Amino acid sequence: MTSNSSSTLAALLLSTVSFLMITPPAARAEMAISAYGGVQSAPHSHVDLSDGPDFTAGWEGKSFAAPPYYGVRATWWMEDLGHPNLGLSLDYTHDKVYADDETLSKSGFSHFEFTDGLNLLTLNALYRMPIDGTKFVPYVGAGAGINVPHVEVARGSGTTFEYQFGGPTVQAQAGVAYQFTDHLAAFAEYKGNYSWVDVDIDNGASLKTNIMTNAINVGVTFSW
């Protein structure tokens, strides 16, 4: 991982820590930190170039190739406010997509990826539904935020290799947690994100595409 990518990840993780620190002490009865990985993919998307013909990109997720797909999440459940099953989460996900060989061939690009992350940061509302008499806790959630992709484009007119603000992102998720103890749980979930990506590439041109990512996640949660 490059020093730039490490700095960006550190900044995003610092945002998560700050979210915990600014939460009022009286409302900290149930805070949680989660980490997860899994399998992430993306369907084809239309690519709009300001200085060339548009095309449709086929994407590969390559979830386990370095740098891998992963995410971290901080959650505040509003138990002390009288709503124990309602929560707010700050979620960072290192989604990524690689253009497939067919896309590279028809576009004339020699390299086209967002693989040091689409880097999604979202604020979400969560609702959980504990099943009486069991340790299973289904939940659903939805939210919105931003995408900060690492733009990796190489073509005849030049090369782009940098982080940029891409635009807004929306998120939806549904899953189930298993509560091993009061402080430790495991979970599996589906999480989908739709990102509007509008970035600059070489020679002042712009590239726009809307990327839908679908992920099946498994992870662990520590709460206090």
- Confidence category of residue 195, pLDDT binned at 50, 70, 90: very high
Half-sphere exposure of 146 (CA within 13 A, CB side): 7
148 in Cβ contact with 195 (< 8 Å) = no
| Residues in a beta bridge with 162 | 151
Indicate whether 106 pLDDT > 50.
yes
pLDDT the model gives residue 80: 81
User: Which residue in this structure is represented by tokens 């589906």?
Assistant: 190
- Quote the pTM value: 0.87
pLDDT the model gives residue 5: 47
pLDDT the model gives residue 6: 46
B/e letters for 81-118, b = 16+ CB within 10 Å, e = fewer, are: eeeeeebbbbbbbbbbbbbeeebbeebebeebbbbbbb
Q: Which residue has better confidence, 22 or 204? A: 204
Could you tell me the residue range of the domain that residue 101 belongs to?
3-22+31-223
83 to 2, 88, 120, 132, 170: CA distances (angstroms): 43, 11, 27, 17, 24
- Confidence category of residue 18, pLDDT binned at 50, 70, 90: low
pLDDT the model gives residue 27: 42
Q: Report d(CA 43, CA 39) in Å as an integer.
A: 14
The predicted model gives 149-168 an average pLDDT of 96
Number of domains composing the chain: 1
- Confidence category of residue 81, pLDDT binned at 50, 70, 90: confident
| Residues in a beta bridge with 6 | none
pLDDT the model gives residue 15: 58
pLDDT the model gives residue 92: 98
> Per-residue pLDDT tens for 112-152?
999 999 999 999 999 999 999 999 999 999 999 999 999 99
Q: Length of the chain, please? A: 224
B/e letters for 134-164, b = 16+ CB within 10 Å, e = fewer, are: eeebebebebebbbbbbbbbbbeeeebeebb
94 in Cβ contact with 70 (< 8 Å) = yes
> Per-residue pLDDT tens for 87-100?
999 999 999 999 99
- Write the CB contacts of 14 (distance below 8 Å, at least 6 apart in sequence): none
Q: What is the CATH number of the domain that holds 214?
A: 2.40.160.20
- Residues of the chain with pLDDT > 70, as a percent, come to 87
Helix ranges (DSSP H) in 72-125 = 101-107
33 in Cβ contact with 72 (< 8 Å) = yes
Indicate whether 2 pLDDT > 60.
no
Q: Which of 22-26, 76-80, 137-141 has the highest mean pLDDT?
A: 137-141
